[in-house]
Chain A
């Protein structure tokens, strides 16, 4: 085997943290040579924190954050984002909601001011009614995507009886029934300063960032924002769904696995990469490269306190059985790993991480999300060390705690 490239150049950023009296955690990695900066709020709230009658409120509220505050109308927000040429967006998952902007250093202060203002929204009733229509369209959009549809149904079934399976979008019924006051109650419960993190990376002034955060967010009142995080281990099973007019068949296997907090997650994530394409036994080489299906993969989906290992494929319905058998073979003896395959897979993972984290936007995302998951920051060097520490033995030990068995299988077939 050839010598692996040395890609573990140390990171150049300076890491800083500060916590306001109300519990808002402020994180920053300052890189004076960067040409841009990125700043964002990471809120530890998502669909799993919703009561059943609130289904979809986290995501709907994410949209409403752009729809006006006591200081700004919806159009004021929209035009200010345009005036400072921000690359701004937001997203909602089962676990968290993130609002962020990439910006030139001279507009950092305005971006921070805007984000801090947006996170105290008016939730105007007319805007609420208008945006509800947009959310219903977004639900329709995803219904037109079979792979997404199956993924949602699989999450919902796998986590039955556990909030981690709550749909991010909600349903037409739940969104139609949701009131502005329901949303306000959810906001009051979840958007408390001690349940969120303000993170920045790149070329910005740390002290000004902290001072502005104190001025803009220091008055936000803290409150308890709890989340239950039990483990979840559903039994093996098969769920078959069908839709008319479908051309391809879609398949997902899921079994319980490591959470965002389990140390085994690095070993299992590397294993997923090995099982996808890192070895000749991998799903890509046996199933896609040979033309049997259009795509095939393995993945670790880590969640707060729980997690799943997943296998998936998409292909012609006629070849589904053959591809399915091969996919199960791929995952059958996961601990049998070739050392050189492992080293190469680790090198690839580290290279991708270094390239991703080289720019402020990537770095800010990593800082914010890892703090939200584990309550501490990790530098790029620590992240590299975590991947470097994976060995054949550590994967085998991870598999003893989180074996690949008791699969729940989900199929989406043409009717």
Chain B
């Protein structure tokens, strides 16, 4: 049991798990040496050598995830991704898994919100093997019809078990209500769509999305860039075509109250309001303000809600900046008799930023943001994924110095301009628990997950 974070101890354990660590603002940074090259087939390759380490990591991502599922097939992309890992280039799932293990590659494959990712970490001598296996999966999957039923069975269990986890239940319900389509699709898929999905649907999904043009392969670690790029050109030479195009702009629901009835011990509170998109001039001011509100143990939400009042164990906010829309998502979990006060203190703190950030608080927040922006860039896997995410949003990869400079520009004026543009007065709130917390809350069920659009 940690003072800050809690971890569910017995969950499925088939994911890539590497330790996170941090780099900070006063480290002597090397200028980023990331090399970006777009291959003839449209695949973008990013390579960054980190010669002081002994491992290397890769991340191949293609536009996909629930955002690019066809209507009536929500969850089909996840199912297809799992099917792709269950056999490729003439070998089955167990043999594929063995080849990764024999080469000492810690790997993970998954479909998320806007992409399907293939990641791994290993010693440099195994990188070519790992990339070869990834090439087999994306270019030559077996897509065996006989595997579809068992994948469906696990996905259906995942959906029907949502109420066993109140925090997940609340998150999914919030996303369903807060965003316009297709951004409101459940990450677990829709029950009716999954049940109707077929092997033919998986093949069509693979044909449509698993294409090089629009995809990105990012490598970081102890490698020689020209050798790696040459290997990649060979391995992915026969890959052809253009993948999916992501929708960009979601509409957010303002000023709504939602309620999910649940017999849970704790009331779950999820709150969202619009904030700066990734490409906005206000982006880094938004990030700094979020650190003021929710950075580590010194954030205002933690200090005011937990430290000074003891209202809950978990309280935090995040700034989520998609390319063309952004929002702040705040969360607290607390027992029913403290829930109303918790929500009141949270909204008061979110609403009193303008003109209240002291010079000391601003410096602390900027120092921490610089630290967390580069946090984890110490390890090859996070460096590879961070470079990929930069490219995903901006179509280029900035050096750490460029990002630091953007953070350094945030001053009191920038914060006031951000707060004047994006106000928590537009927040929507969802609560889950035995009783509604707010009057006139609209009662919500997981209809999207269970079938109806």
Contact = CB atoms under 8 A, between A and B. Distances in A.
B379 A358 contact: yes
A183 to B, nearest CB: 15
Interface stretch (A189-197, A260-268, A287-295, A326-334): A287-295
A119 B1 CA distance: 18
B104 A248 contact: no
A87 interface: yes
B298 A82 contact: yes
A26 to B, nearest CB: 22
Nearest to B295: A82
Contact of B364 (A62, A63, A83, A89): A83
A130 B338 CA distance: 14
Contacts of A91: 1-3
Contacts of A92: 1-2
A125 B53 CA distance: 48
Contacts of B334: 137
Given A78-B297, A351-B122, A352-B106, A294 B98 contact: no
B248 interface: no
B104 A361 contact: no
B4 interface: yes
A348 B19 contact: no
A102 B376 CA distance: 11
B150 A291 contact: yes
Given A87-B375, A289-B93, A147 B154 contact: no
Interface in A31-82: 33, 35-36, 38, 59, 62-63, 66, 74-75, 78-79, 81-82
A273 B10 CA distance: 15
B55 A355 contact: yes
B375 to A, nearest CB: 7
B307 A344 contact: no
A305 to B, nearest CB: 21
Interface of B is mostly: loop
Interface string B6-18: 1011111110001
Interface string B24-67: 11110000000000000000000000001111000000000000
A148 B9 contact: yes
Interface string A132-164: 111111101111111110010000000000000
B209 interface: no
B312 interface: yes
A144 B264 contact: yes
B101 A141 contact: no
Contacts of A106: 26
A5 B123 contact: yes
A36 B1 contact: no
Interface residues of B, number: 90
Interface stretch (B163-171, B176-184, B280-288): B163-171
B224 interface: no
A355 B12 contact: no
A350 interface: yes
B300 to A, nearest CB: 11
Given A9-B54, A138-B313, A248-B161, A280 B23 contact: no
A169 B379 contact: no
B150 A290 contact: yes
Contacts of B52: 33, 35
Contacts of A107: 24, 26
B101 A247 contact: no
Given A284-B14, A290-B150, A87 B21 contact: yes
B250 interface: no
Chain A: interface size category: 35 or more
A85 interface: yes
A75 B375 CA distance: 24
A169 to B, nearest CB: 6
B423 to A, nearest CB: 26
A74 B303 CA distance: 10
A277 B100 CA distance: 13
A142 to B, nearest CB: 7
Contacts, number: 253
A354 B55 contact: yes
Interface string A87-120: 1111110000000001111110000000000000
Nearest to A97: B1
A1 interface: yes
A285 interface: yes
Interface in B135-176: 149-154, 157-158, 160-167
B2 A85 contact: no
Interface in A284-327: 284-285, 288-295, 297, 312, 314-316
Contacts of A413: none
Nearest to A60: B1
A214 interface: no
B354 to A, nearest CB: 21
Contacts of B121: 355
Interface string A336-348: 0000000111011
Contacts of B22: 36, 85, 87, 102-104
A103 B24 contact: yes
A6 interface: yes
Nearest to A38: B21
B97 interface: yes
A30 B313 CA distance: 36
Q: Determine which residue in A4, A145, A252, A278 has the highest number of CB atoms from chain B within 10 A of its CB, and name it.
A: A145
B239 to A, nearest CB: 25
A145 B161 CA distance: 12
B157 A143 contact: no
Contacts of A217: none
A133 B311 contact: yes
Contacts of B263: 244-245
A225 B309 CA distance: 35
A89 B1 CA distance: 11
Closest 10 CB pairs of A and B: A291-B153, A291-B150, A133-B310, A351-B104, A82-B298, A104-B24, A85-B371, A295-B12, A5-B104, A7-B104
Given A147-B11, A355-B18, 4 more contacts: A104-B23, A138-B1, A146-B164, A245-B163
22 contacts: A5-B102, A63-B3, A75-B303, A78-B303, A83-B364, A85-B370, A131-B310, A137-B310, A137-B311, A144-B167, A168-B1, A245-B263, A248-B157, A278-B101, A292-B153, A294-B12, A295-B11, A314-B161, A348-B101, A351-B105, A355-B18, A358-B54
